């Protein structure tokens, strides 16, 4: 812990026990009341600036994208090709940026309707793009982005999560956006597009999920009924349903396996809800920005980042498993609610969606200084 400290040199002040009070030079000779006031006002407290200090974010680059409307959705990084990929959901495009410079390289439109999430696999010649439009989800050439194969999932494909151990992608489908009363989680091979299984939820609004790396579970947000479903991905069966009582519209989730914690981000009101990932018990809450649509977690640093469309990024310390604590509020831009965290590069990238406003769409690049 880093603290501010001051050296005191004892100076004797006449009179009783007060003669043993250590004071700074210049206070000797003061009347007792004045001396006490001066001592209190001039003595700083020890302030911890280490374990719970917020990292400093510096805006390093802004890329304007004129002519865009609506919302952006999720990002992916292609390290092999040095690219950042962004799903421009309402614009109906895949946007490609340079990982090194942040420059906008190209717009991919052919065959894309309403993209949401992107899977890039190390060493693979293809990427997987979920698309809730009429063209359906698709496998694309990772170099040219030409379509290789359409993926016949249930309509409404949106959020996804990947299990590299079995090379299986789990995709949320169905729901109210495609006039369905239920939603699904479908397991698919990202190479062949073969469907490996599915589970159906009696919920018409299912949001983001977290895939356990050292176990068989998937944690998925049932936003309509305000619950977390726990799915065993070996059997594709729901094994538990946990309520999220502190807030409504639970939409995003991050998993810290080492501390057995789920960090569930809710929208009504904006709140981070920390839950025990073994039992579903709520252990702590903290306020979160409104209109959040993403969450990033740096498990090694115990830092959680929540971007909100109202125009700021919430930063949280999770080093104490039973007490999630907001330690920073970083002004960003209206609509900046999805993005990408690159801990190894000490970078964070956000997409400022114009929505229905006349604002210019922007991609914001930040450096992170701990």
| φ/ψ (deg, to 5) at 19 | -65, -15
33 and 128 together in one domain: no
> From CA 363, how far away is CA 353, in angstroms rounded?
9
217 and 354 part of one domain: yes
**What does pTM read for this prediction?**
0.85
Range of the domain at 40: 1-50
Backbone φ and ψ of 350, nearest 5°: -125, 150
Judgement on whether residues 150 and 36 belong to the same structural domain of the protein: no
Residues 134 and 22 in one domain: no
> For 102, phi and psi rounded to 5 degrees?
85, 0
Are both 127 and 221 inside the same structural domain? yes
DSSP string, 107-166: EE-TT-SSEEEEEE-TT-SEEEEEE-STT-EEEEETTT--EEEEE-PPS----EEEETTT
**Can you tell me which residue has the tokens 């309707």?**
113
**Phi–psi pair at 53, nearest 5 degrees:** -85, 140
Say if residue 35 is in the same domain as residue 145: no
Q: Phi and psi dihedrals of 253, rounded to 5?
A: -150, 140
Tell me whether the omega of the peptide bond preceding residue 78 falls within 30 degrees of 0, making it cis.
Answer: no
Provide the domain count of the chain.
2
Taking only the tens of pLDDT, the chain with its 370 residues reads 433 333 333 333 333 333 333 343 344 444 444 443 343 333 332 233 344 677 889 999 999 999 999 999 999 999 999 999 999 999 999 999 999 999 999 999 999 999 999 999 999 999 999 999 999 999 999 999 999 999 999 999 999 999 999 999 999 999 999 999 999 999 999 999 999 999 999 999 999 999 999 999 999 999 999 999 999 999 999 999 999 999 999 999 999 999 999 999 999 999 999 999 999 999 999 999 999 999 999 999 999 999 999 999 999 999 999 999 999 999 999 999 999 999 999 999 999 999 988 899 999 999 999 7
For 83, the 3-state DSSP assignment is strand
DSSP code, position 33: H
Residues 6 or more apart whose Cβ sits within 8 Å of residue 289 = 270, 306, 307, 308, 309, 310, 311, 312, 313, 314, 329
């Amino acid at each position: 812990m880093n603290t501010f400290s001051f050296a005191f040199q004892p100076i004797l002040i006449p009179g009783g026990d007060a003669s043993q009070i250590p004071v700074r030079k210049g206070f000797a000779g003061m009347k007792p009341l004045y001396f006490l006031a001066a001592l209190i006002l001039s003595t700083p407290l020890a302030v911890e600036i280490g374990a719970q200090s917020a990292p400093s974010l510096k805006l390093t680059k802004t890329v304007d994208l004129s002519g865009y409307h609506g919302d952006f959705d999720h990002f992916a990084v292609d390290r092999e090709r040095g690219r950042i990929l962004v799903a421009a959901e309402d614009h109906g495009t895949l946007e490609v940026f340079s990982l090194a410079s942040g420059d906008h390289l190209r717009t991919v439109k052919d065959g894309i309707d309403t993209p949401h999430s992107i899977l890039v696999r190390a060493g693979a010649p293809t990427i997987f793009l979920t698309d809730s439009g009429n063209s359906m989800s698709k496998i694309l050439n990772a170099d040219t982005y030409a379509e290789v194969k359409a993926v016949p999932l249930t309509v409404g494909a949106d959020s996804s999560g990947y299990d590299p151990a079995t090379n299986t992608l789990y995709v949320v489908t169905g729901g109210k956006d495609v006039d369905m009363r239920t939603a699904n989680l479908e397991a698919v091979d990202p190479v062949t597009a073969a469907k490996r299984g599915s589970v159906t939820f009696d919920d018409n609004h299912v949001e983001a999920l977290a895939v356990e790396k050292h176990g068989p579970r998937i944690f998925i947000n049932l936003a309509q009924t305000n619950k977390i479903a726990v799915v065993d991905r070996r059997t594709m069966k729901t094994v538990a349903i946990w309520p999220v009582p502190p807030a409504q519209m639970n939409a995003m989730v991050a998993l810290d396996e080492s501390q057995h914690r789920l960090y569930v981000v809710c929208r009504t009101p904006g709140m981070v809800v920390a839950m025990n990932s073994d039992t579903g018990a709520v252990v702590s809450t903290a306020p979160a920005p409104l209109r959040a649509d993403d969450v990033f977690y740096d498990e090694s640093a115990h830092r959680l980042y929540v971007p909100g469309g109202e125009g700021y990024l919430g930063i949280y310390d999770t080093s104490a498993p039973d007490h999630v604590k907001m330690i920073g509020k970083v002004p960003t831009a209206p609509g900046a609610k999805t993005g990408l965290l690159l801990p190894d590069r000490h970078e964070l990238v956000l997409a400022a969606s114009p929505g229905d406003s006349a604002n210019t769409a922007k991609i914001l690049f930040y450096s992170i200084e701990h």
